[in-house]
Homo-oligomer: A and B are copies of this chain.
Amino acid sequence: MLPVDPARFLEDLHALRRFGAAGVGKGVSRPGFSEADIAARDWLATRISEAGLRPHFDPVGSLFGLAEGRSLLMGSHSDSQPEGGWLDGALGVIAALEVARAAQEAGGPPVSVVSFEDEEGRFGVTTGSSVWAGNQTLEGADALHDPQGLSFAEARARFGARRQGFVDPTRFSGYVEMHIEQGPVLDTTGEKLGVVEAIVGIRDMHVTLTGQQNHAGTTPMHLRRDAFQALSAFNTALAERFANVVTPQTVWTIGHVALHPNAPSIVPGRARFSVQWRDGDAERLDRMETIIRDTLAEIATAHCMELGFGPMLGLDPVAMDAGLRSALEAAAEAEAPGRWRVMPSGALHDATNVARLMPVSMLFVPSIGGISHDFAEDTDEADLVTGLNTLARTVTALG
């Protein structure tokens, strides 16, 4: 097995944490294209050079550390949420650096490193890997704006003369991304590793139910067309109808609700809300969409509502490569016998985009309390090292 150095790995991980340190626990604030993000990437480029790899910034600020010849690509992202944790993305980048460095020191096999830019979506969703994989054009991305009105074109110009061309993806044999789970499953079961079988697909629908705004004192219950009551009835009916369709891995969420006029003394005349659902099976996502639309139509009729739909987001599930996955499974069993599982990724990752270009796979380590996107995000350092060793063992096995 490649002689990775856990102490050096943890030292680099803590060194990266100092860029944008929030001063609250181990939390960081290092959004894509911020001063802290660019400084962190400059530091990372130095560490890449010191490891014997060639640093390469692409046109959107994604930083590669290239091994010579054809190589396995490993990495994740080093930008963070505005109130983010120290491991979300950073873990996968620094683990990749340590594995690639150890491989250089051992004389192979060749491993390259990447830290994609703006995975956290200041300008969209997994923007850096999305442009690289051709899920969106550079011109299209340039027209995106962050919530403060900065354009993607202006943001990526901050990388100035660092930028070179896009890296040719055919130089890589595959992509392996380690990431914190960002959910409670491994922490709850006490398992140490999760080998991802698929990144779930997402459907995200915006719905409007329009009834009749009315005085909450003078309008009898039987004459009301109350949009909140219709929303609540839809929510209840949906759970009943999903019961025979979903698996324990399926999730659905009504996370956004806006009533109008949203006043205690007025019967709500309108409810806008989101319905989002995720599953590893594209057919199940479709069946759920049919149930949602049918249920909404019935509720709208029963409650005398007009029914409207906003734009719908749809991303299909992404299966992990069978060969990479079985190498990860064998390494997981060696490092944590009987204490790992195969599981879906409920969150999107850069691997979703990279799957368009090459075989991909992912490895999870536990998140304490399932907490992520929060300064409190953390993982036991022993678990981080178990993940590092699993990657090293996988690379050794893949040759």
Contacts and interface: CB of A to CB of B under 8 A. Distances in A.
Interface of A: 181-185, 188, 200, 202, 204, 206, 214-223, 226, 228-229, 231-233, 235-236, 246, 248-259, 262-268, 274, 276, 278, 345-348, 370, 372-373
B259 A218 contact: no
Given A255-B268, A265-B255, A265-B276, A372 B215 contact: yes
Contact of A251 (B219, B257, B346): B219
A223 B346 CA distance: 14
A246 to B, nearest CB: 8
Given A221-B250, A257-B262, 14 more contacts: A181-B218, A182-B218, A184-B218, A184-B219, A200-B217, A214-B370, A228-B254, A229-B254, A231-B232, A254-B268, A255-B259, A255-B263, A255-B264, A256-B263
A212 to B, nearest CB: 9
Give this chain's copy count: 2
Contact of A257 (B236, B259, B267, B347): B259
Nearest to A371: B214
B372 A251 contact: no
24 contacts: A181-B218, A182-B215, A182-B218, A183-B215, A184-B220, A202-B217, A204-B265, A215-B346, A215-B347, A218-B347, A219-B346, A226-B253, A228-B235, A229-B235, A232-B236, A233-B236, A253-B266, A254-B268, A255-B262, A255-B263, A255-B265, A256-B262, A257-B259, A265-B276
B251 A255 contact: no
B220 A183 contact: yes
A223 B255 contact: no
With a 10 A CB-CB cut-off, give which of A188, A206, A253, A372 has the most chain B CB atoms: A253
Given A219-B183, A248-B220, A347-B215, A264 B257 contact: no
A227 to B, nearest CB: 10
B251 A221 contact: yes
Interface centre among A217, A262, A373 (most CB of B within 10 A): A217
A215 B349 CA distance: 14
A204 B251 contact: no
A344 to B, nearest CB: 9
A214 B62 CA distance: 28
Contacts of A216: 251, 253, 255, 276, 278
Contacts of A278: 216-217
B256 A264 contact: yes
A214 B222 CA distance: 37
Contacts of A219: 183-184, 251, 346, 370
Given A218-B347, A346-B217, A259 B259 contact: no
A280 to B, nearest CB: 11
A379 to B, nearest CB: 14
B217 A251 contact: yes
Interface centre among A220, A276, A345, A346 (most CB of B within 10 A): A220
A266 B256 CA distance: 9
B370 A223 contact: yes
Nearest to A231: B232
A222 to B, nearest CB: 7
Contacts of A235: 228-229, 232
A266 B262 contact: no
Contacts of A214: 370
Among A185, A255, A276, the most chain B Cβ lie within 10 Å of the Cβ of: A255
Nearest to A228: B254
Contacts of A254: 228-229, 268
Given A253-B226, A266-B255, A183 B218 contact: yes
A318 to B, nearest CB: 13
